[in-house]
Every structure is written in structure tokens, then in C-alpha cells.
Structure 1
């Protein structure tokens, strides 16, 4: 698969747009949009489907990296949408500030992450998009729209899938910096996970469960990320799972050299909340990903449903991660009006086989109102997704009002969210 514009992170999608531009200012974005008929924003390319492709123009946000402006009194930072989370985190840490959470990878752009509803982990911590307090969006008309938390259209515009315009600046909530202590436990019996799911996911500020499903009776690892001086000390054992004797990688048998430090060693939030270090790019080109977000009340039942498919999942899987996050009010968020649990699958790069399995996996998760992560592989169409996103029709009305000519609608959005009218 080749393309003049290259491919996404995984290499499973070659961009088909006719051209790409990399503006460095709002004015340059406005000029590019003048007269354009088909446009999409392109971030760090960490999507596994065609969500960021266009029939004509791709606007890369790579140079939209306005220097962070910190408002200490309001506890806010405003930054260019193309900035990577890891780069912003370094600036904030140097000034004594932090973000409430980070995703597994610090390499992703702020604009792309919030547009697709990307999240971290923590029973009490909502998605990354829930930290957005303000957005600057350049519409197809060239008008610059500023939306702030509390505005009528705000909750529909944050997780926007790029369907409303080009997001150029983002304002995020911040808090004073804090330290995290990370520990890994191994060999959690599935029965213990079923019986004690709430206690396990509540055992630290951020918790991730990893398994290959090769042995459906055991979850391989549990990663606990505890706030130093706030959360209780790491337990001697975790419901029968034992502390790892050395740093671990989520994938069995892989060196942990590029993972963030473990063994309870305290470190700044930006060096512990992601699973991987910013100076390392993990699995680039060697994986596919899917994730399904289920209301927290269905967590244990959904975990059992996934386990029932273990024999089919394991041959195509690198690792599965299970983690929780808190509810938000953003219309197209996986956590819209519900605490949620995410079932994340890092697949082998065998797309036809994975897509065939996804049909079955989505069917067994459908009774639990599972919502797919917008930036990853899934098969559901707009009719199916309308049933799990109560404000889908409101979002369609918002998109029709802000982008009446459907400049920012591509084939992916037509299939999943904005069917032709």
C-alpha cells in the first residue's frame, strides 16, 4: 500500500487526499479553506481507520503549535491544537502544573485526541476531552468560532470527529503538579477480577488490566498508578496477583526499557501516567487497534462476554487492556453521561481476519450499549451508532448549521455519523 501522502501510524491506511498543507497560523488555515470543498484535519496519524482522510485537501496540524499560555489564576492553559500531549506536559511540569490525566501514549496531538474522545484511566477521571475548557475553530466559511465551557454548542463541539472545522487552539484545565508511583502485579485470577472489579480499578489513581486471553482464567498484569502522598501504599498482593519483581512491558516477553518506570519509584505525573516514554515510539507500523467503551454498570458482564470469545481473540491479539474512566457531558464521548470501562485490543496486523472477528465481538458487546472508539477499527454504521449516542441527532443538526456544505464530511463520517441527506 503506497501513497504520496504516506500512511497512518500503523500503515494500514494510505491517505488518498489529492494534497496536503501544513499551515502555521489561523490566517493560513482560513486561506486554505477559501473555496475548498473537501477538507479534513490530520494530526499525528494515530488513527486506525480513514477518519482523517479527505477526497481533496488534508490540513496537517503539525505546525499549529502555539506556545502554551498559562493562566494560573483560572488554572487553564491555552495551546496550539497540533501540540503533542508529551510536549505540553513538559512545559507544564517546568512551570509547576499538570494535566489531570494522559493517554497511554504521550505522542498524540491534543486536537486529534479530544476530537476522537481518547481517554486515560481512573475511576474518577473522565476522558482527555473533558479537560477542555475552550476551543478555537476555523469554519469552512473562514469565520473563527470561539466556544467555551457552558456555551450552548460546547458539549457537541469538543468530541467533534473533525466534522465542524479545523480546531486551531485548545484551552485545558490544569492543576498543581503531582507525583505518581507505579507498580505492576501479575497473575490475577479471572474469578477474582469478576468478584472484585470495583476494588481493583479503585486501588489507585489510574489502573490498567492487561491480558493476552491465551489463558482465559488469568489476567496477566494489573498496573497501579498511585498518587504519591494521597493514595494508599501498594498492597503486598492484589487479590492473589503478586508484585512483579522487575519492570514489565504490557506484552509478555518484551523488554520494558521503553516503558515508564515502575517498582513503586516516585516520579512526575508525565513520566508515569503514560505507559510509554515520550522519546520512544512503540509498535509503530506493527499493530492494529480497536476499543469498545461500555457503561460501567455492565463492566463485569461485558468482561465475561469478551472472555467467552477468548479462543477466537487470542490468535489475533497482541494484548488487551481494560481500564475505567468517569462520565462527562460531551455528546459523542464514550463516557457521555455514564462512567465507562474501555476494552482495548491491540491486534496483530492481519486486518481482514481482525475485521471479521470485530463483527462477532461487536455483536456480543451490543447488549451492553458498547460505543466504539472513533479513531480505531470498528464495523458499526450510523444506524447502529445512533442507538448508543443519545445526542447523535443533535450533533447532526450542529454539523449542518456550522458546515452546511459538508466540507468536512468524508466517506468515514458518511458511514458512521453523518449519512447523506
Structure 2
């Protein structure tokens, strides 16, 4: 145990816990859970709200034995829950395998990303959680549970918000390794994009659009990631926008040295799907983040609404990313039963200003059934109405944690 609890990655919140437990075995973890009044699991601290907070004990699974076992015949890899995606990706690539998707930052842990529904981008690429084939977790009574795809409770137990137990191992789908060529286009007209959004997002295996909203008529950058072995090609221009003459960072004026290679050069999936390289240390305390996932059918209207708010967004914003996510069947996934478009905001580190604006932003997006990312800043508390299986998940939480050991103030505010 240690009392050096500290802050989250961004430094915008200090954890309320009195201690952190770092068990080195599943048996030690079970003992911690049995003896605690309140517990929350702590990953790589990349959440911006109090989803991982508690007034008692935080548990880190980073000291559990590291596992990365590849089962080639089943196209699965079994990993320890605290494994970072970048580390796992290197192991898979060495064996000729890949994950179908990665988030923009490879430094996040598998369990933390899965539990919060974190995703990358791609019209046909679902969230990271959709690759989960089995979860293994310890419940507050100290019992080890395993649920696999096809089991009755599985689809409720993947994006779990840490409410059912502490993850110790996860099986993920894998595919043969593949190559991606990444190209950044600059200065797309918003009118052209919104006239045929589907055509723009379908240009690559993964696409992201970045804008500062300082000019509501122009998309600053389009990051297109084309899968080379699937016949993906790089166009000479997109709606009149040409490729950038050199590598770019999503933030204007910032060096691209920490970004993954661009300029249309092909490279392994793990070196192109994320926006940022694994080998650099992400900055601390320089940003806040919010994200809202809207059903694809509302995307053009929602983006039009953001354009109308550009004058209020831009003074608080570093950059906004627009990306797509394919649907899945996981109960609390933000793309549950709908293809979605993510509206991601990287804010300046001005929490009072951002939190004062969020109610207006969320009210403007409410007609489009915008689901907030579980690990980002949001103020809406009636989010349960956006999830058809919300009451089923609440019952599942009660069944696995009847004493409420894993419950915290954040969950209580949401009605869980």
C-alpha cells in the first residue's frame, strides 16, 4: 500500500482515495477487495473525470504478472489487464499479428480503454471494446469470474465502467499484420465535407478531421490512413485540398516530431493507426478533453450545430477531432447499435471556463442523442436514457457488487 495517490494524467483532478493497492497476484487482489469498504480500479490515469475516483482504496493492476499469449489458431491474444496498447502492439507485430484498431494515443491500458468504450476511427472499425472476446475479473467478494462472447452477461460486462469487478485478463481478437499509409490534407471546405460526409470518411481505413473552429468554413486537416494491402490508394486532392508538404501535428504550429509518420509512406499498423508515437512521453496538465458520439444519421446536423457555435468554442479549444466508429452490441458502448460520429474536443486547461460552457454545448447536441465518452469531461447526468440496456446494466452491477464496494459518487450521480 502507499498513500501517494496523486492526480490524473492531465492534473485537472486529485484523487480522493487514501491509499493505492498494487497487488502482485490475483490472490492478493482478491484479499484487497474482500477487505475494502470502497474500491476503484486505476489504469493509466487518462480519464478526465472522477470515474476512477473513490474515498477509500484505489487498485492498480500494473504489478500483476504480465501476459501476452497469442493463440494463433483462434486468432486471439490473452493479455493482462494493465498492459498498454503500444506494448501489446509490439508483441503482436513481432509475431506477424495485429489488432484491427488502435486509439490515437497508444499509452493507455487495455482494461481502462475497454471499460470506458474508447475507440479509434474508421467507418467499418468499431471501438476497442468490440475486439474483446473474453473478460476475466475479480468481484468484491473475491471470486474470479470469466465471461466470453456468447455468454448471457458478456455484452454488459465489457464496457463496464469498472462497476462489476477489477479486470485481470482480457482476450482480444487479432488479425494478420497489415500496413497503413498516412497522408494529411489541409484546408478542406466544410460545405463540401457536409455535402457528402460519407464520401470523405470512407476515403481511408481510418480518417480523422481536425479543426480549431477559428474558421468555421474550413476543416484544417484531414488525416487519411489507407490500408495498403487492401488496395487503399491516396488521392491527389480531396475537395481541392492538397497533401501537406511536411508532417503535421493536429495542433497548429506544434512540431510533428511526436506524431506517427505521414507523407503517404507505408508502415506497420502500429506505427500509423495512432496519431502519436509510443516512444514519447505524453505531456501532463496541458489539456482537458470531452467527446460526444452522435448516431451517424445525425452527424451532418450535429456538425452544422458546432459550426454555429464556433465563436464560443474556439476561445476554449486547442483542437476538435471528428472521427467515425462502427456499431457494436455492447450495452454501454457509445456506438451501441448505431454507427457513430465522434466529436472530440481537446480543450485548453481552463476547467472553470470549459465546465461553464459544457451545459450549453450538451444542450445544443441533445437533439442528436449525443452520448458522452465515459472517461471525458461532461456535465449531463441523465445519460442512462441514451442507452436501451441501462436498466439491465444496473441490475448486472447489483448482482456482481451487491454491497456497492465498487460504487463511487460519480456512478451514484448517474443513477448506478
Q: TM-score, normalising length from structure 1?
A: 0.97
Q: 1:132 to 1:293 in 2, by over 3 A?
A: same
Residue 74 of structure 2 is matched in structure 1 by: 74
How many Å separate the matches in 1 of 2:234 and 2:26?
A: 47
Are the equivalent residues in 2 in contact too, given 1:64–1:83 (CA < 8 A)?
no
Residue 372 of structure 1 is matched in structure 2 by: 372
How many Å separate the matches in 2 of 1:331 and 1:267?
A: 35
Q: What is the deviation of 1:233?
A: 1.4
Q: TM-score, normalising length from structure 2?
A: 0.98
Moved more, 164-173 or 60-69: 60-69
How many Å separate the matches in 1 of 2:218 and 2:74?
A: 46
Q: Runs of at least 4 residues of structure 1 off by over 4 A?
A: none
2:88 matched to 1:83?
A: no
Tell me the SS of whatever aligns to 1:93: helix
How many Å separate the matches in 2 of 1:47 and 1:291?
A: 12
**Which ranges in structure 2 are unaligned for 5 or more consecutive residues?**
none
Q: 1:172 to 1:319 in 2, by over 3 A?
A: same
Tell me the SS of whatever aligns to 1:387: helix
Tell me the SS of whatever aligns to 2:359: helix
Residue 342 of structure 1 is matched in structure 2 by: 342
Tell me the SS of whatever aligns to 1:238: coil
How many Å separate the matches in 1 of 2:233 and 2:177?
A: 20
**Which ranges in structure 1 are unaligned for 5 or more consecutive residues?**
none
How many Å separate the matches in 2 of 1:417 and 1:182?
A: 42
Tell me the SS of whatever aligns to 2:70: strand
Residue 92 of structure 2 is matched in structure 1 by: 92
How many Å separate the matches in 1 of 2:20 and 2:325?
A: 35
Are the equivalent residues in 1 in contact too, given 2:155–2:329 (CA < 8 A)?
yes
Q: What is the deviation of 1:394?
A: 0.5
Residue 403 of structure 1 is matched in structure 2 by: 401
Are the equivalent residues in 1 in contact too, given 2:20–2:57 (CA < 8 A)?
yes
CA RMSD of aligned residues (A): 0.9
String of CA shifts for 1:90-121, please: whole Å, max 9, x gaps: 00000000000100000000000000000000
Residue 192 of structure 1 is matched in structure 2 by: 192
How many Å separate the matches in 1 of 2:64 and 2:307?
A: 43
Within-5 A mapping of 1:346-357: 346-357=346-357
Residue 207 of structure 1 is matched in structure 2 by: 207
How many Å separate the matches in 2 of 1:66 and 1:74?
A: 21
Are the equivalent residues in 2 in contact too, given 1:65–1:81 (CA < 8 A)?
no
Residue 165 of structure 2 is matched in structure 1 by: 165
Residue 386 of structure 2 is matched in structure 1 by: 388
Equivalent pairs counted in the alignment come to 414
How many Å separate the matches in 1 of 2:105 and 2:281?
A: 9
Tell me the SS of whatever aligns to 2:169: strand
Within-5 A mapping of 1:75-154: 75-154=75-154
Are the equivalent residues in 1 in contact too, given 2:4–2:20 (CA < 8 A)?
no
